[in-house]
Amino acid sequence: MKRIHSILVAFALLAFACSLASAFDPSPLQDFCVAIKDNKDGVFVNGKFCKDPKLAVADDFFFSGLNKPGNTSNLVGSNVTTVNVDQIPGLNTLDISLVRIDYAPYGGLNPPHTHPRGTEILLVVEGTLYVGFVTSNPDNRLFTKVLYPGDVFVFPIGLIHFQFNIGKTKAVAFAGLSSQNPGVITIANAVFGSNPPINPDVLAKAFQLDKTVIKYLQSRFWSD
């Protein structure tokens, strides 16, 4: 009787462990789970409703247009063309996405930012980029590199990173990210352009700047 009891306990513990493992398993449990906006007949998986796999079509896994340059006529001189689950619904649950980044000649910048849900691997196909990322506190160590066509650089998940065109011509890079929707937090926009604005006293103390400077920076980034 004790032996049977021990076996039952062992099975119970095994089942419990398996249930915990499956709860945190990021792998899809079917071939694909094409995202849909209409939840009438869908199943909610990983932030999206999924259509019946039998109704999936090739266009659910397709995007066209990454051959077209982005418009870099803006204050930072760069443009990011995103291809994530919102552009390709078939990416849902597949933990991957792609971007094309265009940089204006000397000075085109993809400003310091983070991806809270994905690591990024960047491939330069045209131009010369100065890139880098900063490690977390307390070290705040800066890793930088100058990249040329064919060079690849990795930005670890969640860390602040940037790319800056130091060449005299335009630059183009493609990046893969380890999430169907990695998210992006552009540091300056988030800090000085939050809605509603962060109390200037908070930022003045955090950045050790005069409050008038903080208010000026907020005026550059925030609009109601």
Binding residues for oxalate: 110, 115, 120
- CA dist 93 and 91 (Å) reads 6
- CA dist 48 and 33 (Å) reads 9
Q: Residue 101: which of 155, 158, 160, 162 has the closest Cα?
A: 162
Q: Which residue has the tokens 């199943």?
A: 43
What are the binding residues? 110, 113, 115, 120, 161
Q: Which two tokens stand for residue 86?
A: 């919102």
Residue 76 in contact with residue 108, Cβ under 8 Å? Answer: yes
Q: Which residue has the tokens 């999924």?
A: 50
- Count other Cβ atoms within 10 Å, centred on residue 221: 15
Helix H or strand E segment including 36: strand 35-36
What are the binding residues for Mn(2+)? 113, 115, 120, 161
- CA dist 48 and 147 (Å) reads 37
